Each structure stands twice: as structure tokens, then as C-alpha cells.
Amino acid sequence: MIRVGIIGVGTVGASVANILQKNKAIISARAGKEIVVVKGAVSNLEKDRNVDIPLTDNIDEILEDDSIDIIVELMGGIDLPYEIVKKALSRGKAVVTANKALLAYHRFDLQAIAKDIPIGYEASVAGGIPIINALKVGLSANQIVAIKGIMNGTCNYMLTRMMNEGVSYEAVLHEAQKLGYAEADPTFDVGGFDAAHKLLILASIAYGIDAKPEDILIEGIEEINQDDIDFAKEFGYSIKLLAIAKKLDDKIELRVHPVLIKQERMIAKIDGVMNGVSVIGDCVGETLYYGPGAGGDATASAVISDIVEIVRAGQSSPMLGFKKPFESEKLSLLPKEEIESEYYLRMLVDDAPGVLASIAKVLGENGISIETFLQRPSDNERKATLLCATHRCREKAILNAISEIEALSHIDTKIAMIRIEE
């Protein structure tokens, strides 16, 4: 019998305990042993947790109980979980965590501390989708060419509603908050930070590269408006918040931002709160993994799969898929300004002679050639909205052009920019 302690018994923790109970027969058959949750730690013992396990508000009662084999950390936060996981490892206990923020900052430290003690974290990325396992095991023959993920259900829900129903950003955010898809302060989701944490975890498995959220390009969906949606529809694009990792020779590109992406691409077809991750390997080509990115039972499914795998296999696989980053490859992060993409720009300008010419001139001087230019009337009859898609260029060039255009007279607003993903 394997004894499990859960630290943090919220929605996911309760689901873990309840599913282990409900599916006991089948899970035991697969794990080869019975798995029992012997205790859960919560901060407030008064609150009803809807579980049938003993609860404590003293975490050490779990960490210091030598009969407990596996610690499931579902608290959230970074510093306290880090201390808890270190303490669990120091006592030889395997750890399963769904905590993406913890791993975004401490995955390499934890791998070093854990050595041969298993740490499972399938639930930390894309909820119920077994993408960690796919990357660590299923695609192990491949050099990973690129990972492109829709890994934040809140953003995908909002963008889908904006795209399909024409709901405004403000209205759909309010709606998402009412439905419980978005927090009262939605910044962590809509700002791209949640997706960035997940991207960093996947990128360490694929490339062994250590980077922190601060090191990478992160932009959210807050600036997307109806003009952008209309442009996307007109030219056969969807708008998605993508988390992207790409390998270019010895450089790794990591970035999270909204993209325009052709509607016929498989990942562009993922709508609503669902998540999906496309992985391109040098042998296999593109594989894509789709499913629920959040929710108590879906996330618990991933947590339990880690527990089963630890029970069944013990330390079969180093935490990040390798004992140490492959020394044969000296990979480093591509500086943000060296990213190359096609770009879409939106600006509100005076409807006056010469404005278009002056903008086109700045783009040309920065070596940027235009693929599509669309002018449409704005609410203000003396203003026009300009929408423009460029050919491929460097991020540095487009940012430079944007600041030069913004400095021109007749330009009314900050220019909005969305990258176009091939």
C-alpha cells in the first residue's frame, strides 16, 4: 500500500482524494499497488472540503510522517511550496506538484536536490493533457523543432468569444469572471504570465534550457479589439495567445503573445476554454495534444497519473527528462530583438493627405516590406484606422519603425502590434 499526503486540499486536492477512492480498483490494477490518501493539510480547518480524509492544519504532520511515501503539493505560491518540497525530498519522499509558478522558478534547483527521488509535475502544464509525458517519453527520439501551445483557457475562451460572437474584450472579460474562468485580477491569465510559466517548463524538457519568466518575451491579449478581429476574419486568420518555443541552431526562442494564425492550422481550431499543444519533432513532424487545461477532476487526472507512474516505475525518468542538460549542446536564449516574424499593425490616423505615404516611408527605411494594407473608417469621421501586415522582418526593425511612426504627426494612438505566426 502506498500512502499519500496532500498539502493544499482545494478543488484539485479534493478531486485527487475522491478519484483515488472512486476509481480505486482500476487505479490499483494499473499501479500494481493500492494508493491511499492518509492525510490532507489545509490552512483553515473550518471550511468544508468535500473529502473523506483526515485533515490537519499542521503541514509538518504530513512532512514528518515517515509512513507517508508521496507528497502531493497543491498549495499555489512559490516560496512556501519550495520549502515544503525541499523538506519532503530531504526526507526521501516522492513529490507530485501541479504548481507551475514553483517550477517556472525552481525546476532546475529541484531536479538537483531530488537526484533520484521522483518529482511528478504532469498537472503543471495544460491540466489534464499528458503533454509532459509525451515530451519526456513519447517524443524522446526527436530533436524538438518547435512547441506552440494554447495553454491558458481563460484567454482562449475570451478570444474565441470575441472572434465567433463579436463580444468586446471588456464584456467577455466580465463574462469570464462571472463564469469563474478569470480571476478578479485577471492579469496573470490575460497578461500571458500563466502561459509563460508553462512554456518554461516544456522548454526545459525539450531543450534543457534554464530561463526565468523575466528572461522572455511575454505579452497579453488586453489590447486586442474589434478591428483586429475583423482583419483576422477578412484574411482567414484566428487570433490565439500562443506560447512558443523554437530552436534555431544554437539559439532557443521563447515567447508568449497573441498571434494571427491561419484558421486551417490544427492549433487554430482549438476553441473555448480548451488547451492544446503542438510539438514539432525532427523525426515525427507535428503532433498535437488537446484537452481540458483546468478544472478539478481534469487536473487531478494528471496528478494521479504521476502518482501511479511513481508507484509503478519508481525513478524511471529524471525530472526534466535528462540527468543534466545535454552538454553537447550549448544552447542560449535568442535575444528578444532578434526574433523574426511577420507583423500586423493597427493605428488610428488623421484622414489627411500624405499620412499613408509617411508611414510607408518609415517602414521602407526600416527594411520592412508591406504585404497587406487596409484602411477603414473609424468612429470619428476625421480619423481612419490603418491595418497593415508586413513580410518577415526582425523584431528590432518593427519596434524601431513603430516608435518612429508613433512620433509622426497625424498618428493618433499607440500602434497595436500582433505577430503573425506561419
> What are residue 129's phi and psi, to 5 degrees?
-80, 125
Smallest gap from Cβ 131 to a second copy, in A, equals 9
Residue 312 in contact with a second copy, rule: CB under 8 A: yes
251-262 and 416-421 beta bridge pairing: parallel
Minimum distance from CB of 319 to a second copy (Å)?
A: 13
Q: Which is nearer to a second copy, 316 or 403 (CB)?
A: 316
Q: Which is nearer to a second copy, 27 or 68 (CB)?
A: 27
Q: Which CB, 283 or 407, lies closer to a second copy?
A: 283
- Can you say whether the dihedral through the CA atoms of 346, 350, 356, 360 is positive or negative? negative
- When asked if residue 358 is in the footprint of a second copy (CB under 8 A), the reply is no
When asked if residue 321 is in the footprint of a second copy (CB under 8 A), the reply is: yes
- 238 SS3 class: strand
Nearer to a second copy, 73 or 309 (CB): 309
What is the SS3 string spanning 251-303?
EEEEEEEEEEEECCCHHHHCCCCEEEEEEEECCCEEEEEEEECCCHHHHHHHH
Q: Nearest-CA neighbor of 397 among 352, 350, 356, 365?
A: 365
Closest CA to 240 of 210, 224, 260: 260
- Give the per-residue contact string, 200-239, with a second copy (x = CB under 8 A; - = no): --------x-------------------------------
Q: Is 11 in the site for a second copy (CB under 8 A)?
A: no
**CB nearer to a second copy: pick between 15 and 366:** 15
Residue 156: φ, ψ to 5°: -70, -35
Residue 21 binds a second copy, judged by CB under 8 A: no
Query: Is 220 or 296 the residue whose CB approaches a second copy more closely?
Result: 296
Of the candidate spans 177-185, 254-262, 281-289, 409-417, the one that interacts with a second copy by CB under 8 A turns out to be 281-289
- Asked if 287 interacts with a second copy (CB under 8 A), we say yes
The region of 57-65, 176-184, 297-305, 403-411 touching a second copy under the rule CB under 8 A is 297-305
- Per-residue binder mask for a second copy (CB under 8 A), 108-127, x = binder: --------------x-----
Determine, following the binding rule CB under 8 A, whether residue 34 of this chain makes contact with a second copy: no
Question: Which of 48, 75, 73 is closest to 63 using CA atoms?
Answer: 73
Interface with a second copy includes 309 (CB under 8 A)?
yes
Query: Total residues at the site for a second copy (CB under 8 A)?
Result: 63
* Residue 45 is a binding residue for a second copy (CB under 8 A): no
Q: Is residue 414 among the annotated active site residues?
A: no
291 lies in the site for a second copy, by CB under 8 A: yes
With CB under 8 A as the contact rule, the residue among 44, 46, 67, 141 that binds a second copy is 141
Q: How far is the CB of 37 from a second copy (least distance, A)?
A: 13
The packing angle between helices 79-90 and 100-114, to 10°, is: 30
User: Which of 39, 100, 148, 198 is the catalytic position?
Assistant: 198
List the grid coordinates of 302.
494528471
- The DSSP call for residue 240 is E
Do residues 163 and 232 touch, judged by C-beta distance below 8 A? yes
Distance CA 313, CA 317 (A): 9
The Cα–Cα gap between 413 and 84 comes to 48
Judge contact between 147 and 279, C-beta under 8 A. yes
User: Of the ranges 135-143, 169-177, 209-217, 222-230, which one interacts with a second copy (CB under 8 A)?
Assistant: 135-143
What is each CA distance from 98 to 57, 81, 183, 396, in whole angstroms?
20, 11, 18, 36
Q: How far is CA 105 from the centre of its chain?
A: 14
Among 6, 9, 14, 31, binds a second copy (CB under 8 A): 31
- Confirm or reject binding of residue 286 to a second copy (CB under 8 A): yes
Q: Does 266 bind a second copy (CB under 8 A)?
A: yes
* Residue 90 or 143 having the CB closest to a second copy: 143
Sequence-distant (6+) residues with CB within 8 A of 335 are none
End-to-end CA separation in angstroms for the chain: 51
Could you list the residues that contact a second copy (CB under 8 A)? Answer: 15, 19-20, 23, 25-27, 29-32, 122, 128-130, 133-134, 136-143, 208, 266, 269-270, 281-292, 295, 297-298, 300-305, 308-309, 312-314, 316-317, 321-323, 326, 328-329
Q: Just list the catalytic residues.
A: 198
